[in-house]
Chain A
Amino acid sequence: MRKLYLENNKPKKRILRITRFIVVLVVVLVVLEVWMVNRLSTYGDKIQSLKVAQADLELENQILENQISQNGTMLNLESKAKALGFDTTKNLEYFRPANIASAL
């Protein structure tokens, strides 16, 4: 008789256990979300400062890129080459194959 009673109560207990688990899970999730929201909501200024830093770096990159291109203009290269003693070739001498020594 007692055995029958226990067998009849088995599904009820399982439902109860599942319900308890769900309730605990929901409570944990709610607490977790509250904790996360509370924690992350104070991160706004950090995100903002990261965004500003990113924009500043991009800006600086662009400025440096422009400086490089300005330093590499043909006019600048020519004046730098002249300052280093290079000059335009006035007379080019071409060697004909017959004039070049070769070993046989």
Chain B
Amino acid sequence: MRLNTLKLIYIIIFVTILARLFYWQVFRFDDLSSMAEQQHLVSAKIDAPRGLILSSDKAILASNKPTFLVFGLPKVVKDKVGTAAKLASVFVTATLEKDEKPDPLEIKEKQQDLLSKLSQDLSWVILNKSVDWNIKKAIEDLKIEGIGFDSQSSRFYPEASSAAHVLGFVGSDSLGRQVGYFGVEGFYNGQLKGIGGLVTEEKDARGLPILMGKFSLKEARKGYNLILNIDRAVQYSVEKKLKAGFIKYGAKAASAIVMDPSTGAIIAMASVPNYDPNLFSDFPKEYFKNSIVADAYEPGSTFKVLVMAAGINENLIQPDTLCDICDGPLQISGFSIRTWNNKYNKDANMTDVIVHSDNTGMVFVGKKLGLDKMYQYIQDFGFGKSTQIDLQDETSPDIRPKNDWREIDLATSSFGQGIAVTPIQMIRAVAAIANGGKLLEPHIVKEIQEDDKNTEIKPKVISQPISKEAAQKVTEMMVKAVELGEAKVFAPKGFKIAGKTGTAQIPVAGHYDANKTIASFVGFAPADNPKFVMLVRYDEPSSSIFGAETAAPTFFEIAKELFTYYNIAPSQ
């Protein structure tokens, strides 16, 4: 009996244990296994490096710089005062130039700041962000317990402010993610940023990987590299000359753009004032805007070549057509239209009109064209809509609806007043004259390098607003404008350059201010087989209000360097 009772007790105990084990092994299997996995399976994100931006000669324009976040563990750091002093010395010394001596006061301030952070009742505090590898090494050499580093990455622009408006910069969005803003960084952010990966592996109690354990890997895809059409030698030269002109002529702002008229490739693009994208937060936000694609202005006389091209294309005029209304000021709708120097030539032909930038002669062409055709050509040359250039901040000023145009609007638009354009729209339209009448889509990026393939951005012809013959006739008129016009003294001898000056008054509070102008020069060379088309623009130059005395000299100075660079010999 006692033996049976004992047997029963054993059976009950055995069944209870079995039931309990069954409960753990079967019913709680999912919970417990996931708890266990959480304890020994560690997942880590793999950052995808942002793609590089390279110039046309494959030099790096934007790269990634490894930086580090320095953190402290206040509960681990024993000598807080000593640690703060050592770190402060490293941090302050790192910001100094080569032979500069550290300021004891600055070190003391930094030390106080670090000490207050390390004295907090926290387990983990940030001591410094985005520190260089050299600083990290210097701190590591100090062998301080309780100081650690987290890897970060920041964008690095070796050429500093060069081509800043083309490149844009990388900042953080509201969620702290890296995002490209402005320029190429903004436009191609999706391609540049890549896709992050994830590695999950089993680790032991010491945090070391267990080789025979579970392992899964989702590889990161690094961002695509971009090769630009920007030629950094041309870019450097353009920036140097433009900056010198900006100072010399006392302008409020300046911009220049060089384009290959046969492909639409942007070879150089510069604006002053500019900024250093490495230190973008130190500059005013207004500097970030690329005036070449985002600023609307009245083109003034540079627009005349387009209206003239329209008239010739329509066979309404020819270069030798005489102007029969050019003998004096014109009265239209109560407004008086004069030439810029108040001199009139009653025997002027259309070439003279371009050479001497005669406003009355352009009104003659405008009248010949009429509103419908004028409006159509303005649209055909790409004004009123975006050029689709691959830069983030492009805007396009609207062209007033045709119904709202009055007689005076037709007259003033014929010489480039009362109509707003962007510099990129303007250079593209003039490039159509240079390349035989084709309107092209401008492109900054030449090639996108993916992991396994390269995508070349091919030239894209949008339309043909004028015929090849009309383009050739206008080119010859523009060559005469350079040889005989107001800017002839600055033109390099022997080269056949086609160009046109522009001096546009700026509308201020409903009227034009005669002393505030946008001085510009647009042209291309060599005229018979153009290698480049260029636009130089100064906003409100103070030494002279005229494009012929400000923008034109800069244009020719840059052109001279381009002739040497491209091995173009004089033809005349």
Show the binding face of A for B, using Cβ within 8 Å: 36-37, 40-41, 43-45, 47-48, 55, 59, 62-63, 65-66, 69-70, 72-75, 78, 89, 92, 94
Residues of chain B within 8 A of A59, CB atoms compared: 66, 133, 151
Cβ-defined contact, A47 with B66, below 8 A: no
B303 at interface (Cβ–Cβ under 8 A)? no
Cβ-defined contact, B158 with A47, below 8 A: no
User: Which one of B20-28, B117-125, B204-212, B383-391 is at the interface?
Assistant: B204-212
Given contacts A72-B59, A74-B159, A74-B162, contact A47 B208 (CB under 8 A): yes
Question: Of residues B156, B158, B162, B564, which shows the largest number of chain A Cβ atoms within 10 Å of its Cβ?
Answer: B158
Bound-state Cα–Cα, A37 to B211, Å: 8
Cβ-defined contact, B209 with A48, below 8 A: yes
Q: Which residue of A lies closest to B55 (CB)?
A: A74
B77 at interface (Cβ–Cβ under 8 A)? no
Q: Which residue of B lies closest to A89 (CB)?
A: B564
Cβ-defined contact, A62 with B564, below 8 A: no
Residues of chain B within 8 A of A48, CB atoms compared: 208-209
Of A36, A55, A73, the residue contacting B212 (CB under 8 A) is A36
Cβ-defined contact, B212 with A37, below 8 A: yes
Bound-state Cα–Cα, A55 to B46, Å: 12
B65 at interface (Cβ–Cβ under 8 A)? yes
B492 → chain A closest CB, angstroms: 10
Cβ-defined contact, A69 with B494, below 8 A: no
Bound-state Cα–Cα, A65 to B494, Å: 44
B152 → chain A closest CB, angstroms: 12
Show the binding face of B for A, using Cβ within 8 Å: 59-60, 63-66, 133, 151, 156, 158-160, 162, 203-204, 206, 208-212, 232-233, 235-236, 494, 564, 569-570
Given contacts A43-B211, A74-B162, contact A62 B233 (CB under 8 A): no
Closest 7 CB pairs of A and B: A44-B208, A74-B236, A69-B60, A69-B158, A40-B211, A70-B158, A59-B66
A31 → chain B closest CB, angstroms: 15
Residues of chain B within 8 A of A72, CB atoms compared: 59, 158
Of A36, A73, A78, the residue contacting B159 (CB under 8 A) is A73
Cβ-defined contact, A40 with B212, below 8 A: yes
Residues of chain A within 8 A of B133, CB atoms compared: 59, 63
Of A47, A73, A92, the residue contacting B211 (CB under 8 A) is A47
Of A44, A73, A89, the residue contacting B158 (CB under 8 A) is A73
Q: Which residue of B lies closest to A45 (CB)?
A: B208
B236 → chain A closest CB, angstroms: 4
Bound-state Cα–Cα, A70 to B156, Å: 10
Cβ-defined contact, A41 with B204, below 8 A: yes
Bound-state Cα–Cα, A104 to B168, Å: 59
B431 → chain A closest CB, angstroms: 26
Q: Which residue of B lies closest to A88 (CB)?
A: B561
A46 → chain B closest CB, angstroms: 9
Of B59, B66, B156, B209, the residue contacting A44 (CB under 8 A) is B209
Residues of chain A within 8 A of B232, CB atoms compared: 74
Cβ-defined contact, B59 with A69, below 8 A: yes
A42 → chain B closest CB, angstroms: 9
Of A41, A55, A66, A75, the residue contacting B63 (CB under 8 A) is A66
A65 → chain B closest CB, angstroms: 7
26 contacts across the A-B interface (CB closer than 8 A): A41-B212, A44-B208, A45-B206, A45-B208, A47-B209, A47-B211, A48-B209, A59-B151, A62-B66, A63-B133, A65-B63, A66-B60, A66-B65, A66-B156, A66-B158, A69-B59, A69-B60, A69-B63, A72-B158, A73-B162, A74-B232, A74-B235, A78-B236, A89-B564, A92-B564, A94-B494
Residues of chain A within 8 A of B59, CB atoms compared: 69, 72
Residues of chain A within 8 A of B162, CB atoms compared: 73-75
Bound-state Cα–Cα, A59 to B489, Å: 55
B58 → chain A closest CB, angstroms: 11
Extra 9 A-B pairs, beta carbons < 8 Å, given A72-B59, A75-B160: A40-B211, A40-B212, A44-B210, A45-B208, A48-B209, A65-B60, A74-B162, A75-B159, A75-B236
Bound-state Cα–Cα, A73 to B162, Å: 10
Bound-state Cα–Cα, A63 to B235, Å: 25
B350 → chain A closest CB, angstroms: 33
Residues of chain B within 8 A of A44, CB atoms compared: 203-204, 206, 208-211
Residues of chain B within 8 A of A66, CB atoms compared: 60, 63, 65, 156, 158
Residues of chain B within 8 A of A37, CB atoms compared: 212
Cβ-defined contact, B570 with A94, below 8 A: yes
